[in-house]
Amino acid sequence: MKILALATLSSFLLMPPQQADAAATRPCTPYVKGEHGGDYRNTEHRAGLAVVEQFHFTAVVEKLERGLSDTLGGDIGYTLEHFPNHPRALAAMARLALRQKTQQPPGAHYTVGCFFERAMRYVPDDARVRSLFGGYLLAQGQNDDALEQFAEAARLAPDDPATHYNLGLLYLKKKDYGAALESARRAYAAGFPLPGLRNKLKALGQWPDD
């Protein structure tokens, strides 16, 4: 999923972001777990997830076709207000913002950056959140910030091949060939199937002969 999420986010070209509606924007306060919701990865916390997804985050919403009880931003935002590190909802919110060329889709109470910040502060050890945020930042051309998020994701999930692959592509973009090669080696050693990074390194003479 992370591979697809990064590719999808990076396919959008952002124009200058629109200003969010100040009246609809809430301060970016930390997430506080209520009766329903919490850490998406926690089995006990996920007790209310089915209800949230049934009424606010169905396949129609995830595909950004239309909202159910609200606008797309409202339904996805509702999901993230209950499960801040819901990976598919975070990816959907990021794609929606990029598609609409705004930092805060209509109906959402927070900016995309705030949704990621709330997730990272609540569950700082969730590598998927970091990878998704890296993809969102990369789609906006914020390469240094994206690199920071991917590097942290790799630290948190050292055995995840997709994270190392994406990190290697970013190092390659920055022409840090040594770091790109190291990330590529870790990705392929862990079984990553796509040859693109290796082929790019070979074309630049940066991949040693097997």
pLDDT, the chain, mean: 89
pLDDT band of 16, cuts 50, 70, 90? very low
What one-character-per-residue DSSP string does the chain give? -HHHHHHHHHT--PPSPBPP-GGGPPP-PPP---SS---TT-TTGGGGHHHHHHHH--HHHHTTS--SSS-HHHHHHHHHHHSTT-HHHHHHHHHHHHHHTBSS-TT-SS-HHHHHHHHHHH-TT-HHHHHHHHHHHHHTT-HHHHHHHHHHHHHH-TT-HHHHHHHHHHHHHTT-HHHHHHHHHHHHHTT----HHHHHHHHTT-S---
pLDDT of residue 210: 61
Higher pLDDT, 127 or 14: 127
Tens digits of residue pLDDT in 51-86: 999 999 999 999 999 998 889 999 999 999 999 999
pLDDT of residue 198: 96
Mean pLDDT of 173-184: 96
Can you give the pTM of this predicted structure?
A: 0.85
* Domain assignments of the chain as residue spans, ordered by start: 15-125
Checking if the pLDDT of 19 tops 50, the result is no
